[in-house]
Structure 1
């Protein structure tokens, strides 16, 4: 009898073929309040996760991390010398304010991106011009070939976002009200409680099948609510209780809490990424190379990773900037990794004439593993002779303070392993950390100009070696990321930046 009732009910709903029903509200617990809704001006994951539903780029990445068209009609036509990109735009696309997408919007947006976005700045001196070629086409001229250009244009982080030209401000002014072409638009925002996204009724999706971020983007949920939950354990408990449908960035020890749950399940992203110690090369203590070398010599990466993740199924002690299996994997320079040598560090500090000035480490507990690594490192650094000042703030405040080089020596962050090394802006002098030296800059310039894959791999090996020699930035190791989702949630592919436009709830 029950089976008959179920079939009748399913038939009445028109959904015999699938147990999932689109619509409803998807509640997503994120690590904190996004400090901006303009993805062009931020490299924060929490900003990318939210804004990618509203604002789109010319290109995106498919499920295999290949560049694919989004607002562009197709991949560009590139001249034989590699310096001219002709980009046709999709026709009939509209912004959520009702205006039609055209080439003027693209030109204005990309010109702003080159001026103010951290990743745009890395390529700005290589762009000769961006020109409209009629209403539905754009030409980008480069001063020299630049292999990572399409990857930069595809990335949702420090994004080359496309806005209506009417709202693109002059100079560095912020955008007061963000308008995009994506499947959702911003609804109600109650700060520190939730940010509501609602479907944009005029959205024009691509027609090709969904494939990662590429292809057709749907409007599955009637509403997506991003809920800032700074405490990681509260994110876990909210997921287990059924309050949240999805929770980002969970502590490793919560895996055993989620696994037996009847309402939620763990989502483990293997070989996800690497924790990074970003070093201030613009001002302060670490402008001295010998002190940077002392820092690298003192850090006990194995202890730091164990403190952060607790179980080696969640991490690997590995100094290569890309794991085995990636084409960018190389062991060049890694003999300097995980020295864990306080005596050597003390000798280097003496050689540098270190006077006891505090080493300021800027971190947050919203990513609990950042804080746990810093705690262990502090003890090791003090044993080597450093005086350490831990500045523990919320993630939004960290994002603001790291823009002022007078306020920190190190800030702790993390990154997924990215398909193109040039997406890591710390390689470039224009980045927030300001790392620059003639040899490294020459190698990086050669890397981004080279189009031959084998030659690029050799150049990247040189870049990794130079990073260890000069201590440009510090990789702690590899880690697997833990997320969680309700067992009733479907249509959310595992991703460093999860998206919910094709989500459904049973």
Structure 2
């Protein structure tokens, strides 16, 4: 290694701390969702190798292999289009961005060489990137690849388009500089810069389907080996990785284990070294495993009950308030979510509320205690007959189902005879929750994960733009309400401002209105929790990325 090589490595390692506390990055997604879209990739076990390293057999266990049990199976790997947590957990090991996370929610360079230069009006970001990075096929990572990776989600009209649609143009200067010109001064743009994971333009364009399911290649410390949907994913250490550190692990073997008790059993017997998502009733079980422990951190997420504000009785704010009187959300979260999660009183996770100084004490006073008599009075005033057929839809998740059941039980106590809580598989749920049709739902429970910025927890769920209504916003809040329209307008104004004080005021006003009008009933936020065997070293749960394997601040190894 030459002196120049040593200096480049040293500089890269030190760059990782410069943006600590600036906010995190990552694609927003339906929290806990196993499918982010309508496509259903066929099963694939193609090797996807791009060099001479032999393909491992499914389930093979070379030394220093990490066996990790996911809750759901990944369904695709192309970061341009993927929009679900299990797929992202795998993809993030293969693909890199200009920026990434530190051990918390700070933003640090990855392919970038330092902090971007930002224009005074906040509409231009100039980024210099390394010229050392290479993809797993040996080809260099170029500014053209970066430009393509940020433009493709919008150009291809993917579900990730709204994460990048504030970009107007991207200009390339020389071999290492890109200038991002924005349509407006977008405050959280550092999050967007970190959300974009870089793919090889020509390679992906040659066969997008293969790139998504059988031969994805990135520039990260692990490369794709093989996959069978619903069975396993194998990643191997990329021996010619351009950066630092080189992965300690030789292989990561991901296995979906959907049933929670079975997942815990595989941790106990050593079949898996790490398991994710420990349900509340199994916390004590995992804690009692002698050679394992729980590693957890509060996620950047939000779980809630949403109302159909477009059609049916729940379009009336009086009815929504009556339903608030039908349930004690504190009690429901205590019974069905803790200790795996914590009560949340606004769309913002606690870390955002604290950092921005939002009036959480005021917001905590908005939800009602359970009072069936008050609920009955409001239902009578709104003219809702007791034979009305209520429909609450929930995804295949026990915690969210129990929130729906708690609301349904309260409606029955209020005198309604026809109350249905329908647990749907993800495909059916994702088709229904955003139609706005009374025949499909009056209420639904859902979750959202995003970046540590207020925009990620307002625009997508309460926005009234063409890329949110019926796309990510299934409540249609504002359809029958001038207050709702004004709140949505303030959210867009905040999105298009680089002035933090102005943004805070707009978000405070908008969210206060949203909570008072009960477009949602906020419920809880989950911890990213993992059962980890004691022989696994340096595993790190992460608030946004779920977990970190090989980064500038940790490097997992297995010492059985």
- Which category of TM-score, normalised to the shorter sequence, fits these structures? 0.7 to 0.9
Give the structure 2 partner of residue 359 of structure 1.
Answer: 391
Give the structure 2 partner of residue 488 of structure 1.
Answer: 535
Unpaired runs of 5+ residues, structure 1, are: 1-21, 206-215
Residues 66, 317 of structure 1: CA spacing in aligned structure 2 closer, same or farther, 3 A cutoff?
A: closer
Give the structure 1 partner of residue 558 of structure 2.
Answer: 505
Q: Deviations over 1:65-119 (max 9, x none)?
A: 1222222222211111211111222213222233322122222221122354555
Aligned 8 A contact 1:83 1:144 in 2: yes
1:92 paired with 2:132, answer yes
SS at structure 2 position matched to 1:498: strand
Distance in structure 2 (CA, Å) of the matches to 1:164 and 1:282: 43
Give the structure 2 partner of residue 443 of structure 1.
Answer: 490
Distance in structure 1 (CA, Å) of the matches to 2:310 and 2:235: 39
SS at structure 1 position matched to 2:179: strand
Superposition pairs for residues 18-57 of structure 1, below 5 Å? 24-57=64-97
- Choose from 452, 463, 474 the match for 1:428: 463
Residues 149, 410 of structure 1: CA spacing in aligned structure 2 closer, same or farther, 3 A cutoff?
A: farther
Distance in structure 2 (CA, Å) of the matches to 1:163 and 1:408: 39
Distance in structure 2 (CA, Å) of the matches to 1:285 and 1:86: 50
Distance in structure 1 (CA, Å) of the matches to 2:227 and 2:299: 34
Give the structure 2 partner of residue 165 of structure 1.
Answer: 201
Residues 310, 161 of structure 1: CA spacing in aligned structure 2 closer, same or farther, 3 A cutoff?
A: closer
Distance in structure 1 (CA, Å) of the matches to 2:210 and 2:179: 26
Q: Deviations over 1:271-302 (max 9, x none)?
A: 77542234555677655544444443433202
Give the structure 2 partner of residue 121 of structure 1.
Answer: 162
SS at structure 2 position matched to 1:236: helix
Post-superposition offset of 1:453: 3.6
Aligned 8 A contact 1:363 1:371 in 2: yes
Q: Deviations over 1:214-249 (max 9, x none)?
A: xx4542211111111111111111111111111111
Distance in structure 2 (CA, Å) of the matches to 1:505 and 1:174: 32
SS at structure 2 position matched to 1:374: helix
Superposition pairs for residues 65-144 of structure 1, below 5 Å? 65-114=105-154, 116-118=157-159, 120-121=161-162, 124=165, 126-144=166-184
Superposition pairs for residues 32-431 of structure 1, below 5 Å? 32-114=72-154, 116-118=157-159, 120-121=161-162, 124=165, 126-155=166-195, 160-166=196-202, 176-177=212-213, 178-205=216-243, 216=244, 218-270=246-298, 273-279=301-307, 286-309=314-337, 315-316=342-343, 318=345, 321-323=348-350, 325-331=354-360, 332-354=362-384, 356-365=388-397, 368-384=398-414, 387-395=418-426, 398=429, 402=433, 408-415=441-448, 418-424=451-457, 425-429=460-464, 430-431=467-468
Aligned 8 A contact 1:297 1:336 in 2: no
Aligned 8 A contact 2:541 2:548 in 1: no
Q: Deviations over 1:315-338 (max 9, x none)?
A: 346458343744344234443224
Deviates more, 1:256-265 or 1:454-463: 454-463
Give the structure 1 partner of residue 4 of structure 2.
Answer: none
SS at structure 1 position matched to 2:100: strand
Distance in structure 1 (CA, Å) of the matches to 2:307 and 2:192: 23
Post-superposition offset of 1:184: 1.5
Return the TM-score normalized by structure 2.
0.74
Unpaired runs of 5+ residues, structure 2, are: 1-61, 479-483
Give the structure 1 partner of residue 48 of structure 2.
Answer: none
